[in-house]
Amino acid sequence: MHIAVCDDNIEELTRIAIILENYRNELDSTVTYETFTNALDLIETMRTRRFDLLLLDILMPGITGIDAAKEIRGKGSEIPIIFLTSSREFAVESYRVEANDYILKPVRKEEIFPSITKLLAKYNKEAAYLTIKTSNGILKLTFSQIVYVEVINRTVQFILTNGELKKAYGYLADYESALLSDPNFFKPHRSYIVNLRHVSELNKEGFITRNGQTVPVARDSFSKAKSTYMKHLLSPKESCFIPYELYFPDTVYLICQEQDKRGYLRKKCMGHEDISIMHR
């Protein structure tokens, strides 16, 4: 796991670097990191370099950590973000950019170690991959980048999060046991396997992926598909947003819970802004 740390306070930046060195020495030596003193340099570096976790200060000159996170999310990145700040007032805004944690300064290892360990476990899990043989050679696909898999005749098609389609000669059964060993994958039809992490809706047409494609569900599999998707939505998530289901005829929508500025919990149906439930 490669971590980017961004803080304009050199003293605080040094403190965090020491904590990360302690993490490397005590828990996992594979963790690496780079430091930045302003968010613009970080964003520019992210154009050519991969990071797996961002530790962002919020109050920085030029562009704040919140604004940097909005720009990063606006580009479609789902990179985990932990905010490090001396103020509690930005907690709600951190939810809106899907921050994974919000830690008050001065940062202590007792607080940040568990967060990194949790995200590292997720990172290692997502590093699981398939090796497929395409017409151009051998290709490695991580589970997390697969939206769904479809077999047509004897060609297995892998639809990826970046919109690409990769083809391999063979049968769905060649990859089924490996994919279904991950609870995020489900087989709704004899010709399809879908990654539930990339699904936004289940209706009578099938699973609707976040990129708008439809994965059909066999009639005799619909009940199992619905219960599996419900279980997936209710399972603990790394994000601070909490998933809920709201039922309409033949449809399951994903509801996100967030706290507004008045301290209310607001549940919004993704893609349906007019549907809102509020409570204390």
| Mean pLDDT (the chain, rounded) | 83
| 182 and 171 housed in the same domain | yes
pLDDT in tens, 14-65: 999 999 999 988 998 778 999 999 999 999 999 988 898 999 999 998 899 9
Last residue of a domain, one of 126, 149, 169: 126
What single letter denotes the amino acid at residue 170? Answer: G
Q: In whole angstroms, what is the distance from residue 97 CA to residue 79 CA? A: 11
The more confidently predicted of residues 223 and 254 is 223
Which residues make beta-bridge pairs with 29?
A: none
Last residue of a domain, one of 82, 103, 126: 126
CATH number of the domain that residue 148 is part of? 2.40.50.1020
Range of the domain at 168: 129-235
pLDDT the model gives residue 240:
37
| 169 and 189 housed in the same domain | yes
| 122 and 60 housed in the same domain | yes
| 140 and 179 housed in the same domain | yes
**DSSP-derived secondary structure letter, 220:** G
Other CB atoms within a 10 A radius of the CB of residue 115 amount to 18
pLDDT the model gives residue 54:
97
Which residues make beta-bridge pairs with 33?
A: 3
pLDDT the model gives residue 17:
94
Task: pLDDT band for 77, please (50, 70, 90 cuts).
Answer: confident
Percent of the chain with pLDDT over 90: 56
- Nearest CA-CA partner of 112 in 17, 7, 34, 235: 17
Please name the residue ranges forming H helices in 39-168.
Answer: 39-45, 65-74, 91-96, 109-126
- Total structural domains within the chain: 3
| 84 and 45 housed in the same domain | yes
pLDDT the model gives residue 236:
52
- pTM exceeds 0.85: no
Least confident residue range of 34-43, 131-140, 185-194, 271-280: 271-280
Q: What contacts 126, CB < 8 A, 6 or more positions away?
A: 142, 143, 144
| 153 and 85 housed in the same domain | no
| 134 and 211 housed in the same domain | yes
